Structure 1
Amino acid sequence: MSDNFSSAHPQRLLDQVRDVLRVKHYSYQTEKSYLLWIRRYIHFHHRRNSRNIGGSEINAFLTYLAVEEKVAASTQNQALSALLFLYREVLHLELDLNLDAVRAKRSRYLPTVLTPEEVKAVILHLSGVHRLVVQLLYGSGLRLAEAQQLRVKDVDFAQRQLAIRNSKGMESRLTMLPETLVEPLQEHLLWVKRQHQQDLEQGYGSVYLPFALERKYPRADREWIWQFVFPAERRSQDPDSGITRRHWVHESGLQRAIKQAVQQAGITKRVSCHTFRHSFATHLLQNGYDIRTVQELLGHKDVKTTMIYTHVLQKGARAIKSPLDT
């Protein structure tokens, strides 16, 4: 494997990075982010040979991001992770890394949380697949990618639970399926099944399978249980395999629908898809569920990550009374 940034073949190195990321089963979003940062790093140093680039050049790039680009601390750390992956996993070079770069200022992050009434108001202004997805984000505490990649086999109507597999950090977990979503989700899956049957009759119907399962189970990609619960509206060609298939529903349409629903509901908070997961966690804690239970449902490795929602609970009149009100 070449260990330089050969100016004639910068794409070759990026292809190598992509291959290693996929061998190690990194998510598609991580793959896109890492390739972006590595490409920027290469161009920042004018495609110099990597034998002459190391810790000091990484420091220079990270300082540039903090001082000139004014990126957030989390963004700067993501760039560092991408570069460490490049050197350690792809180029197999050990770095004498002493990070003395200017560090981006770390802000104290408090998530936006909707009240239960605000959540209901937004959902009332949604319809179809978009409403179902948002109801799962809030009712089951899913990340957007987890809802997008949910498969038919992972929905257990009898046990009222969802199996979330190979999520962030390659972890799997179980979470609840809200009772109110059982009937709408069953009706939705009947429609999806009819669509899948039509795809099969037209010579399509294949779905992406992870971790080389297509080789292990050659016909599984057309089986009903492996199909996405929320498939894309249109078929498209897989850029890796060249197979025409239905991917999962794209986030852009959902994001637009949420933005419009928030405006129609008259809510002045900045709301994203992830806001509903934040609201799920906060409302469970408000209802008296212990933080360890919420941690397991969210799939957090460290309870410190879940603790952010206790800070949200302590804001405002729930914790401290304003002197104006005394």
Structure 2
Amino acid sequence: MVAPRPQPRTAPPPAPGRLLDQVRDRIRYLHYSRRTEEAYVYWIKAYIHFHGLRHPQEMGGPEIEAFLQHLVSQRSVSGNTHKQALSALLFLYAKVLGQTLPWLNDVQRPKATQRLPVVLTQDEVARLLAALPAQHRLLGQLLYGTGMRLMEGLRLRVKDIDFDHRAIIVREGKGAKDRTVMLPDALIPVLRQHLQQVHLWWQADRDAGVGPVYLPHALERKNPRAGLSWSWFWVFAQPELSGDPRTGEVRRHHAQDQAFQRAFKKALAVAQIAKQATPHSLRHSFATHLLQARYDIRTVQELLGHSDVSTTMIYTHVLKVGGGGVASPLDAMLQRAHPLEASPSLQAQ
């Protein structure tokens, strides 16, 4: 007699309740990020409203294709946005509704857009950082000086700064991975002074009986007083108290990314930089400038936290000047015709 095969272990079914609550519960059960939760809920709501509030159980592949076609033809979304919307719907059917129908694999996947990153020169970075308001400048300097992502910088805790070893520990970066980056020597006195001001906010919160800062996972239950300690306080704390979006508890949150993004955009205009740069361009510039300084690509990969070196290789394409250093035939022709004269257009410049 053949013993029955053991059944694969599966996650418990979603708790009963409203569909979007089930989506949120499943996302949190799988430890997806809050940003992913917000994006998935947004696209699932848009999908349901597009089809006249029909329940997804009553729909399938044709309805998904119709919704995605609407996004492309009517809203002109990019390939990456198209891909994110599709991922949200596949998550809904496979992980929340538990459907394993063949049409899930038949839905056409969009081709992701591949673009070269926007990289600033060192002079442009200097002008940009100088144009940032004082309350945002230190964060901008840290993003360029360490290669951190914006949210990685905003989520830094006091305990993550190691002055003795000139290091910063990035906790749970993209892919839930920790890594170590350098602490620029030039920022040590500025950062110490900044933390003195932040310590005053922490002390004021303790005197006023403000609740603990947010703690990851179950740490708040295991160590309730950790969120009240100075070591867990935010390096870039928000000046005002705010309600926790999940629990409603009033507490001190880290600074908002939108505030820095707005300041960055204004600084671009003040510095007269015409490139379509974003805060993430500081990370791109960090990597490119390290490669220009002849640092090994594996070292840059480790500092950026890339799982695959092929992701880091994108910056080698940025380093190629003028189509890989190939001289234009126009320059060669003009050089032969006027070997001792510069082009009039170049003289005008």
TM-superposition CA deviations, 1:198-238 (whole Å, max 9, x none):
11101115200010210010111101111110011100111
- 1:243 matches 2:246: no
Match of 1:217 in 2: 223
> With structure 1 as the length reference, what TM-score do the two structures score?
0.92
**C-alpha distance in structure 2 between counterparts of 1:123 and 1:61, whole Å:** 42
% identical equivalent positions: 51
- 1:88 matches 2:131: no
Task: Pick the aligned partner of 1:291 from 292, 297, 304.
Answer: 297
Match of 1:156 in 2: 162
Say whether the 8 Å CA contact 2:243–2:251 is kept in structure 1. Answer: yes
Structure-to-structure mapping, 1:72-151, within 5 angstroms: 72-96=78-102, 97-101=104-108, 104=110, 106-151=112-157
Q: State the AA in 2 paired with 1:99.
A: D
- 1:256 matches 2:262: yes
Say whether the 8 Å CA contact 1:55–1:98 is kept in structure 2. Answer: no
**C-alpha distance in structure 2 between counterparts of 1:2 and 1:277, whole Å:** 39
Structure-to-structure mapping, 1:300-315, within 5 angstroms: 300-315=306-321
Change (3 A) 1:122 1:318: farther
Say whether the 8 Å CA contact 2:15–2:22 is kept in structure 1. Answer: no
Q: State the AA in 2 paired with 1:307.
A: M
Match of 1:22 in 2: 28
Say whether the 8 Å CA contact 1:3–1:91 is kept in structure 2. Answer: no
Task: State the Cα distance separating 1:106 from its structure 2 match.
Answer: 4.4
Change (3 A) 1:140 1:227: same
Match of 1:42 in 2: 48
- 1:320 matches 2:320: no
Deviates more, 1:295-304 or 1:224-233: 295-304
Change (3 A) 1:238 1:315: same
Task: State the Cα distance separating 1:49 from its structure 2 match.
Answer: 3.3
Deviates more, 1:156-165 or 1:50-59: 50-59
TM-superposition CA deviations, 1:161-200 (whole Å, max 9, x none):
1111112111111111111111111110111011100111
TM-superposition CA deviations, 1:38-57 (whole Å, max 9, x none):
11111122232333322332
Q: Which runs of 5+ in 2 are unaligned?
A: 1-12, 333-349
**C-alpha distance in structure 2 between counterparts of 1:148 and 1:62, whole Å:** 34
Change (3 A) 1:212 1:2: closer
Match of 2:208 in 1: 202
**C-alpha distance in structure 2 between counterparts of 1:249 and 1:319, whole Å:** 43
Say whether the 8 Å CA contact 2:93–2:99 is kept in structure 1. Answer: yes
Say whether the 8 Å CA contact 2:143–2:149 is kept in structure 1. Answer: yes
TM-superposition CA deviations, 1:232-275 (whole Å, max 9, x none):
11001113222211111012221222122222212111221101
Deviates more, 1:59-68 or 1:126-135: 59-68
**C-alpha distance in structure 2 between counterparts of 1:134 and 1:59, whole Å:** 41
Say whether the 8 Å CA contact 2:14–2:22 is kept in structure 1. Answer: no
Task: Pick the aligned partner of 1:184 from 186, 190, 199.
Answer: 190
Say whether the 8 Å CA contact 1:3–1:50 is kept in structure 2. Answer: no
Say whether the 8 Å CA contact 2:14–2:96 is kept in structure 1. Answer: no
> With structure 2 as the length reference, what TM-score do the two structures score?
0.86
Q: State the AA in 1 paired with 2:222.
A: K
- 1:175 matches 2:204: no
Structure-to-structure mapping, 1:224-235, within 5 angstroms: 224-235=230-241
**C-alpha distance in structure 1 between counterparts of 2:190 and 2:283, whole Å:** 20
Q: Which runs of 5+ in 1 are unaligned?
A: none
Q: State the AA in 2 paired with 1:69.
A: R
Q: Secondary structure at the match of 1:234?
A: coil
Say whether the 8 Å CA contact 1:87–1:95 is kept in structure 2. Answer: no
Q: State the AA in 1 paired with 2:39.
A: S
- 1:272 matches 2:278: yes
Change (3 A) 1:100 1:83: closer
Larger radius of gyration: 2
Say whether the 8 Å CA contact 1:151–1:226 is kept in structure 2. Answer: yes
Say whether the 8 Å CA contact 2:211–2:249 is kept in structure 1. Answer: no
Q: Calculate the aligned-residue CA RMSD, in Å.
A: 2.0
**C-alpha distance in structure 2 between counterparts of 1:297 and 1:36, whole Å:** 33
